[in-house]
Amino acid sequence: MDFRLSCFYRSHRFSQYNMVNGFFFSQKDEENFHHFIKDNVKPSDKCLIFCDPPFSAPLGLIIEQIRILSIAVIQHTLSSSTTQVNSENGDENNVPYFLVLPFFFEKKLRKIAPFLNLLDYKITYESHSRLDFDSNDIGDQRDSNSKSGSSSHRGQRRDSVVRLFTSLRPSLVHPPKSMEKSFRFCEICQRYSHVTNLHCSKCNRCTTKHGPTYVHCDKCGRCKSTKKSHCDKCKQCVSVSQCVHLIKRQKLF
């Protein structure tokens, strides 16, 4: 964790910790962590870990450290005479957590932590010129345009690709009241999906991850972005700009 964040928190509520190797930068930092858990988290309380890591960080190591931290939390809240923590039992006995990452990390995360679920909630950053925009939120778009300043800055802005991954069941993560109209509950998937993320009966899930509603490709047997077309020679759906065969076909017409 960046030490500059200590300016925003009191010393007893801040610990500098390396999420890659599980290292507290000082004994005081480690003591702060244990005191915080002991004083603020009781057995009857519900708590979770929220992690917004650098996108280039080694995910396997970060998820392992989250697991270790969650076990430490449970060991502080449960006495030895009650439930024992089983560190080998996946995420069942661990504190639930949220992980902030781009949606296209899903495939990588599935291999590392298959129990993690990708949610439809977009994460935007007020101080980030390219991740401060949600194209699905018209009000947010208008407000962001007024804050963005020059037209050159607006031209750089992109619809945020950052999402929430969680170890919780998706059905438990309700949208905020201010966003309820933008989401619907899919009974089949048992999750809250954005209104543009329609359920595909052929894929048997809500498939849209970014941009306009995905369409199903019968040849590929899965849904694809509207920016992609099926190429019979490539035998898959590809972006027109990335396929030599589709580019040649466009030039002919």
**Span 94-151, pLDDT tens digits:** 789 999 999 999 999 999 999 999 999 998 877 655 555 555 554 444 444 334 334 3
pLDDT recorded at residue 137: 56
Rounded Cα gap, residues 1 and 15, in angstroms: 8
The residue that leads in pLDDT, 164 or 39, is: 164
| Strands 23-24 and 17-18, bridge-based pairing | antiparallel
Q: Which helix (H) or strand (E) holds 46?
A: none
Look up residue 210 and give its two tokens: 């970014």
pLDDT recorded at residue 89: 42
The most confident of 129-133, 156-160, 228-232, by mean pLDDT: 228-232
The fraction of the chain above a pLDDT of 90, given in percent, is: 42
In this predicted structure, the answer to whether residue 216 has a pLDDT above a threshold of 50 is yes
Mean pLDDT of 182-198: 96
pLDDT recorded at residue 193: 96
pLDDT, the chain, mean? 80
Mean pLDDT of 206-219: 94
Coil, helix or strand for 73?
helix
Nearest to 179 by CA among 101, 124, 115, 97: 124
Rounded Cα gap, residues 146 and 248, in angstroms: 42
pLDDT recorded at residue 106: 94
- Lowest pLDDT segment from 26-40, 211-225, 231-245: 231-245
Q: What band does 157 get if pLDDT is binned at 50, 70 and 90?
A: low
235: left (phi over 0), alpha (psi -120 to 50) or beta: left
In this predicted structure, the answer to whether residue 79 has a pLDDT above a threshold of 60 is no
Q: What band does 249 get if pLDDT is binned at 50, 70 and 90?
A: low
Rounded Cα gap, residues 235 and 220, in angstroms: 8
The fraction of the chain above a pLDDT of 70, given in percent, is: 76
In this predicted structure, the answer to whether residue 232 has a pLDDT above a threshold of 80 is yes
What are the angstrom distances between the C-alpha of 30 and each of 54, 67, 82, 112? Answer: 22, 17, 25, 27
Q: Which residue has the tokens 């390396």?
A: 18
Rounded Cα gap, residues 170 and 176, in angstroms: 14
Nearest to 100 by CA among 24, 33, 9, 19: 19
